[in-house]
Amino acid sequence: MYKTELNQSIQKIFDDFDSESLFLDFDFIARELAKYSILPNKTSIYRQLDLMDNIYYFQVNKKRYWTKVDHKNHQHICCKKCNKISCLNLNKSTLLAIQSRIEIGFEADTFELMSTCKKCR
């Protein structure tokens, strides 16, 4: 019963904040679960998120972010100050350069660039 309640609550969090550019970190998810009086440990939340088919994650500097949109095979820019994450649209020549690096052995499933956003500059 507890796992079902946790699963439904996590799904509700993502449904309430449905946006392609929204990336939720563990702290935000834990705060939202506390609003529903659900206080699971970190392992339970990670396990439940890993089991959900419609929730995807990527990792930046050992920190995971979850979203409802699969963000693999493209790049992100992450603000060093406020941790805002944005999808990065690259031009064709840059994508071809990345593809050539993949062909010679570099793994580039996703990669993240650290910078500062317009708000923090």
Is there a single domain that holds both residue 82 and residue 37?
no
Amino acid 93: pLDDT: 66
- Residue 39 within a domain: yes
Nearest alpha carbon to residue 71 among 61, 85, 82, 81: 85
In total, how many domains does the chain have?
Answer: 2
Separation between Cα atoms, residue 115 and residue 108, nearest integer Å: 19
pTM of the predicted structure, to 2 decimals = 0.60
Amino acid 24: pLDDT: 82
- Residue 55 within a domain: yes
Q: Which residue in this structure is represented by tokens 């799904």? A: 11
Is there a single domain that holds both residue 54 and residue 89?
no
Q: Domain range holding 88?
A: 75-115
Is there a single domain that holds both residue 63 and residue 90?
no
Is there a single domain that holds both residue 79 and residue 61?
no
Amino acid 71: pLDDT: 59
Distances (CA, A) of 13 to 8, 91, 118: 9, 34, 27
Separation between Cα atoms, residue 113 and residue 94, nearest integer Å: 14
> 78, 44 in Cβ contact below 8 A?
no
Each residue's pLDDT, cut to its tens digit, for the chain (121 residues) gives 467 888 888 888 888 876 555 678 888 889 889 988 888 888 888 888 888 887 877 776 677 878 776 656 666 777 777 767 777 666 666 766 766 766 666 555 555 566 677 787 7
- Residue 34 within a domain: yes
Where is the domain boundary, 67, 88, 106? 67
Is there a single domain that holds both residue 58 and residue 11?
yes
Is there a single domain that holds both residue 13 and residue 29?
yes
